[in-house]
Amino acid sequence: MSSESIALNPSDESTRPIGDRLHDWVTTVDHKKLGIMYILYALVFLVIGGIEATIMRIQLIVPHNHFVSPQVFNRMFTMHGTTMIFFVAMPIMFGFGNYLVPLMIGARDMAFPRLNAWSFWLAAFGGLLLYFSFIGGDGLYGAGSAPDVGWFAYAPLTARVFSVGHSTDFWTLGLLVSGIGSIGTAANIVATILCLRCPGMTLGKMPLLAWMNLVMAALVLLAISPLTAAQIMLSLDRYLGAHFFDTQAGGSAVIWMHFFWIFGHPEVYVLVIPAFAFASEIIPVFSRKPIFGYPVMVAATVTIGFVSFTVWAHHMFTVGMNSYANSFFTISTMIVGVPTGIKIFNWIGTMWGGKIQLKTPMLFCIGFLFQFLIAGLTGIMLAVAPFDWQLGNSYFVVAHFHYVIVGAILFALFGAFYYWFPKMSGRMYNETLGKWHFWLFLIGFHLTFDFMHIPGLLGMPRRIYTYEPGRGWDTWNLIITIGVLFQAAGILVFVGNLLWSRLRGPACTTDPWDAWTLEWSTSSPPPEYNFATIPVVRSRRPLWDIKHPEDPDWKYE
Partner 1 sequence: MSSTSLASSSIESEWVLPSRGRVGMFCLIAAESAIFTIFVVAYIYYIGKSLAGPMPKDVLELPIFATICLLSSSLTIHFAVGALRNGKSGIFGIWWFVTIALGAIFLVETGREWYDLIFEKGLTINTNLFGTTYFSLVGLHAFHVTVGLIGLAIGMVLALLGKVKQEHSERADVFSLYWHFVDVVWIVVFTVVYIIGR
Q: Which residues bind partner 1 (CB under 8 A)?
A: 1, 4, 111-112, 115, 183, 186-188, 190-192, 194-197, 199-200, 217-218, 221-226, 228-230, 232-233, 236, 240-244, 249-252, 255, 259, 262, 521, 531-533, 535-538, 542, 545-546, 549, 552
Nearer to partner 1, 394 or 524 (CB): 524
| Shortest spacing between CB 249 and partner 1, in angstroms | 6
* CA–CA distance, 502 with 168 (Å, rounded to integer): 39
| Shortest spacing between CB 347 and partner 1, in angstroms | 29
Nearer to partner 1, 236 or 479 (CB): 236
Nearer to partner 1, 215 or 412 (CB): 215
Backbone φ and ψ of 200, nearest 5°: 95, -20
| Shortest spacing between CB 56 and partner 1, in angstroms | 32
| Shortest spacing between CB 9 and partner 1, in angstroms | 20
Which residue type, as a one-letter code, is found at position 45? F
| Shortest spacing between CB 341 and partner 1, in angstroms | 29
Contact of 177 with 125, CB cutoff 8 Å: yes
Nearer to partner 1, 62 or 222 (CB): 222
Candidates 180, 185, 274; CA nearest to 227 is: 180
Nearer to partner 1, 149 or 218 (CB): 218
| Shortest spacing between CB 184 and partner 1, in angstroms | 9
Nearer to partner 1, 112 or 125 (CB): 112
Most distant CA atoms of the chain, gap in Å: 75
Nearer to partner 1, 4 or 431 (CB): 4
* CA–CA distance, 433 with 222 (Å, rounded to integer): 40
Nearer to partner 1, 415 or 535 (CB): 535
| Shortest spacing between CB 202 and partner 1, in angstroms | 10
| Shortest spacing between CB 248 and partner 1, in angstroms | 9
| Shortest spacing between CB 183 and partner 1, in angstroms | 5
| Shortest spacing between CB 36 and partner 1, in angstroms | 24
Contact of 188 with 29, CB cutoff 8 Å: no
Strand partners, 394: 461
Nearer to partner 1, 302 or 342 (CB): 302
| Shortest spacing between CB 515 and partner 1, in angstroms | 15
| Shortest spacing between CB 125 and partner 1, in angstroms | 19
* CA–CA distance, 447 with 459 (Å, rounded to integer): 19
Cα dihedral 528→192→225→177 (10° resolution): 10
* CA–CA distance, 375 with 410 (Å, rounded to integer): 13
Contacts 24+ apart (CB under 8 A), 246-255: 246/155, 246/156, 246/159, 247/155, 247/156, 251/155, 253/154, 253/155, 253/156, 254/316, 254/319
Nearer to partner 1, 199 or 353 (CB): 199
| Shortest spacing between CB 199 and partner 1, in angstroms | 4
* CA–CA distance, 492 with 116 (Å, rounded to integer): 31
Running DSSP on this structure, what letter comes out for residue 553?
A: G
Residue 1 burial by CB count (10 A; 0-12/13-18/19+): exposed, middle or buried? Answer: middle
* CA–CA distance, 113 with 119 (Å, rounded to integer): 10
Residue 347 burial by CB count (10 A; 0-12/13-18/19+): exposed, middle or buried? Answer: buried
| Shortest spacing between CB 196 and partner 1, in angstroms | 7
- Measured on CA atoms in the order 281, 283, 289, 293, is the torsion positive or negative? negative
Contact of 295 with 342, CB cutoff 8 Å: no
* CA–CA distance, 44 with 116 (Å, rounded to integer): 20
Q: Report which secondary-structure segment, H or E, holds 403.
A: none
Nearer to partner 1, 341 or 552 (CB): 552
First to last CA, the chain: 25
* CA–CA distance, 421 with 170 (Å, rounded to integer): 35
Contacts 24+ apart (CB under 8 A), 15-21: none
Which residue type, as a one-letter code, is found at position 531? F
Nearer to partner 1, 46 or 218 (CB): 218
Nearer to partner 1, 187 or 482 (CB): 187
* CA–CA distance, 400 with 406 (Å, rounded to integer): 10
* CA–CA distance, 153 with 218 (Å, rounded to integer): 25
Contact of 322 with 328, CB cutoff 8 Å: no
Nearer to partner 1, 188 or 346 (CB): 188
Candidates 436, 375, 365; CA nearest to 402 is: 375
